[in-house]
C-alpha cells in the first residue's frame, strides 16, 4: 500500500480546528481497521484514522472521510471570464471567482501556492460561506457564472457540486478551472453540474508530470477526452514555463493532442509563467515564446490559439478562421466585440459560424 497516508495533520502546521466533522466526502471507500480510500483523484490515498491525504484537506475521522474545507473560501470576487482562459463563452462576462485551499498536485512553479499548498495559507483569508450565500452574492451582483478557480477546485469537490446545483436553479452557470487530475467517477459527477471547463494541461510528458507536479499525465488526458465527448464547452490552456516547456517540441505535442484527440475547434491558450514558489531561478516566459507557440498552432490547423498573461497583441484577439476578419479584440482582460460577429457567433463578413457562445442560455 504505497499510497497509504499515516501522518497527522499537525505535521503540516495546519492552523484550523480540523477535528470538526464538516461534510462527508462523496467519493471514497471504507476499508478494514477504519482505513478509508479516497476516490476523488488518481492518487486514491489510503488514509488511516486521524490522518489526512496528500491534499491535506480530506481527513479520516473514525473511519469516515471528511471534506474539511467544505464552505471555506479564500477568494470570493468578481472578475472577467477571460481571467480563466475562457475566450469563447460569453466574452466580457462577469464571473464570481471562488477560491479555496489545498491541492492534489504540488507543482514546483505553482502560481497560486499560498492557497494551493495549505500549510502556507494565512487563516485570516479563510471565511465561511454556505452555498446559499454564494448564490445570493451572485444574484445581488447580477453575475451569471460562478467560477471555481485559484487553487485547484478539485479538492473542493463537494462544495462545488452542491453550490453549482443550487446555482443552476437560479439560471447561474458554473465554470470549473482545473488541472483535471481527477478520477473518471469525479469527472462524471462534475459533468452533471458544470457548464464550462477550463482545462490546464501542464505538458504532454509523463516524466514532466512526475517531476514537476507530483502527478501523472494519462488521467488528465483521458478526462479531457471525456469532456470533449460530452459536448460541454471547454478550452485548454498550457502554462509555458521558461526552460522547461518553452520549446517547439512541447508546443507540437500539445497541438497534436488538441488537434487529433479533441478537435481543431477547441481554443488552445499558451500562457506565460512568472517565477514563483520553488521555481524562481528563471525569467518570466518571453512573450516571443508564447507568440511562437500560437503561430505554430494556427499554422498546424487549430482554428483558435491564444496567448495569456500578456496585456495586448493580436495573440489575444479572435479572428474568423475562414476569412481572418477580426471578430473580438482584447486588451488585458477586456473583450471588445466587433460589429462583424453576430449574436450566434457567426462572422458577418463570410458567414462562417464560430463556436463562440454569445448568449447565456439558461438550463
Ligand atoms: S483528493 Fe486525491 S490527494 Fe486528496 S485525499 Fe483524495 S486521493 Fe488523496
Confidence of residue 26 (pLDDT cuts 50, 70, 90): very high
Whether residue 6 is predicted with pLDDT greater than 50 in this model: the reply is no
Q: What residue owns the CA closest to ligand 1's atom 7?
A: 44
Whether residue 21 is predicted with pLDDT greater than 80 in this model: the reply is no
Percent of the chain with pLDDT over 70: 93
Confidence of residue 1 (pLDDT cuts 50, 70, 90): very low
CB distance 177 to ligand 1 below 6 Å: no
Domains belonging to the chain, first-starting first, are 4-67 (no CATH), 72-337 (3.20.20.70)
Query: How far apart are alpha carbons 12 and 126 in whole angstroms?
Result: 17
Q: What is the DSSP letter of 255?
A: H
Taking the CB of residue 182, how many other CB atoms lie within 10 A of it?
Answer: 27
Query: How far apart are alpha carbons 147 and 94 in whole angstroms?
Result: 10
User: Cα of 48 to ligand 1 centre, how many Å?
Assistant: 13
Q: What is the DSSP letter of 321?
A: T
Cβ–Cβ < 8 Å for 322, 350: yes
Q: What residue owns the CA closest to ligand 1's atom 2?
A: 41
CB distance 5 to ligand 1 below 6 Å: no
CB distance 58 to ligand 1 below 6 Å: yes
Section 331-341 average pLDDT: 93
Whether residue 326 is predicted with pLDDT greater than 80 in this model: the reply is yes
Section 241-270 average pLDDT: 97
Convert the pLDDT of each residue in 186-203 to its tens digit: 999 999 999 999 999 999
Strand order in the sheet with 75-80: 75-80, 94-99, 145-148, 173-178, 196-200, 233-240, 268-272, 305-308
Q: For ligand 1, pick from 35, 36, 54 the residue to mutate: most ligand atoms within 8 Å of CB.
A: 54
Confidence of residue 114 (pLDDT cuts 50, 70, 90): confident
Which atom number of ligand 1 is nearest to the Cα of residue 28? 6
Name the 3-class secondary structure at 174. strand
Whether residue 13 is predicted with pLDDT greater than 80 in this model: the reply is no
CB distance 52 to ligand 1 below 6 Å: no
Its pTM stands at 0.93
- pLDDT the model gives residue 107: 85
User: Cα of 54 to ligand 1 centre, how many Å?
Assistant: 6
CB distance 214 to ligand 1 below 6 Å: no
Confidence of residue 20 (pLDDT cuts 50, 70, 90): low
CB distance 164 to ligand 1 below 6 Å: no
Question: Phi and psi of 266, rounded to 5°?
Answer: -75, 125
Percent of the chain with pLDDT over 90: 78
Query: How far apart are alpha carbons 57 and 68 in whole angstroms?
Result: 5
Q: For ligand 1, pick from 55, 154, 157, 182 the residue to mutate: most ligand atoms within 8 Å of CB.
A: 55
- pLDDT the model gives residue 110: 83
Taking the CB of residue 64, how many other CB atoms lie within 10 A of it?
Answer: 15
CB distance 155 to ligand 1 below 6 Å: yes
> Which residues does 158 contact at the CB level (< 8 Å), separation at least 6?
23, 25, 26, 67, 70
Confidence of residue 14 (pLDDT cuts 50, 70, 90): low
- pLDDT the model gives residue 162: 98
Residue 313 vs residue 109, higher pLDDT: 313
Buried b (16+ CB within 10 A) or exposed e, 324-357: ebbbbbbeeeebebeeebeeebbbebeebebebb
Whether residue 335 is predicted with pLDDT greater than 70 in this model: the reply is yes
Average pLDDT over the chain, rounded to an integer: 91
Convert the pLDDT of each residue in 45-104 to its tens digit: 999 998 889 998 999 999 999 998 899 998 899 999 999 999 999 999 999 999 998 899
CB distance 45 to ligand 1 below 6 Å: yes
Q: For ligand 1, pick from 53, 154, 223 the residue to mutate: most ligand atoms within 8 Å of CB.
A: 53
Which atom number of ligand 1 is nearest to the Cα of residue 104? 3
Which atom number of ligand 1 is nearest to the Cα of residue 157? 1
Whether residue 140 is predicted with pLDDT greater than 70 in this model: the reply is yes
Whose cell is 505535442? That residue is 253
Query: How far apart are alpha carbons 198 and 236 in whole angstroms?
Result: 6
Name the 3-class secondary structure at 18. coil
Taking the CB of residue 284, how many other CB atoms lie within 10 A of it?
Answer: 12
User: Cα of 329 to ligand 1 centre, how many Å?
Assistant: 40
Convert the pLDDT of each residue in 144-195 to its tens digit: 999 999 889 999 999 999 999 999 999 999 999 999 999 999 999 999 999 9
CB distance 40 to ligand 1 below 6 Å: yes
CB distance 53 to ligand 1 below 6 Å: yes
Query: How far apart are alpha carbons 277 and 111 in whole angstroms?
Result: 7
Whose cell is 476578419? That residue is 325
Amino acid at each position: 500500500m504505497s499510497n497509504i497516508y499515516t501522518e497527522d495533520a499537525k505535521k503540516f502546521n495546519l492552523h484550523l480546528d480540523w477535528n470538526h466533522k464538516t461534510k462527508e466526502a462523496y467519493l471514497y471507500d471504507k476499508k478494514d481497521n477504519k482505513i478509508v480510500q479516497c476516490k476523488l483523484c488518481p492518487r486514491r490515498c489510503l488514509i488511516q484514522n486521524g490522518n489526512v491525504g496528500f491534499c491535506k484537506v480530506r481527513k479520516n475521522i473514525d473511519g469516515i472521510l471528511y471534506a474539511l474545507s467544505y464552505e471555506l473560501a479564500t477568494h470570493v470576487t468578481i472578475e472577467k471570464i477571460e481571467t480563466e482562459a475562457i475566450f469563447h463563452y460569453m466574452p466580457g462576462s462577469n464571473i464570481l471567482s471562488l477560491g479555496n485551499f489545498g491541492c492534489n498536485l504540488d507543482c514546483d512553479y505553482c502560481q497560486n501556492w499560498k492557497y494551493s499548498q495549505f500549510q502556507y495559507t494565512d487563516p485570516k483569508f479563510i471565511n465561511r460561506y454556505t452555498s446559499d450565500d454564494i448564490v445570493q452574492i451572485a444574484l445581488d451582483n447580477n453575475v451569471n457564472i460562478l467560477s471555481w478557480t485559484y487553487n485547484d477546485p478539485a479538492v473542493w469537490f463537494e462544495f462545488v457540486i452542491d453550490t453549482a446545483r443550487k446555482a443552476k436553479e437560479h439560471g447561474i452557470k458554473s465554470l470549473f478551472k482545473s488541472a483535471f487530475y481527477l478520477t473518471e467517477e469525479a469527472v462524471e459527477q462534475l459533468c452533471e453540474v458544470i457548464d464550462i471547463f477550463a482545462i490546464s494541461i501542464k505538458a504532454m510528458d509523463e516524466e514532466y508530470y512526475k517531476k514537476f507536479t507530483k502527478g501523472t499525465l494519462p488521467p488528465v488526458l483521458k478526462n479531457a477526452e471525456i469532456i470533449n465527448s460530452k459536448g460541454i464547452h471547454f478550452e485548454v490552456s498550457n502554462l509555458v514555463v521558461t526552460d522547461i516547456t518553452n520549446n517547439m517540441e512541447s508546443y507540437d505535442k500539445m497541438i497534436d493532442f488538441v488537434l487529433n484527440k479533441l478537435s481543431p475547434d477547441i481554443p488552445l491558450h499558451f500562457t506565460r509563467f512568472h517565477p514563483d514558489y520553488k521555481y524562481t531561478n528563471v525569467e518570466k516566459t518571453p512573450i516571443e515564446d508564447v507568440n511562437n507557440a500560437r503561430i505554430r498552432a494556427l499554422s498546424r490547423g487549430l482554428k483558435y490559439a491564444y496567448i495569456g498573461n500578456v496585456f495586448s497583441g493580436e495573440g489575444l484577439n479572435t479572428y474568423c478562421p475562414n476569412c481572418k476578419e477580426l471578430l473580438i479584440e482584447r486588451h488585458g482582460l477586456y473583450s471588445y466585440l466587433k460589429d462583424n460577429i453576430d449574436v450566434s457567433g457567426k462572422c458577418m463578413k463570410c458567414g462562417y459560424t464560430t463556436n463562440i457562445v454569445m448568449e447565456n442560455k439558461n438550463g
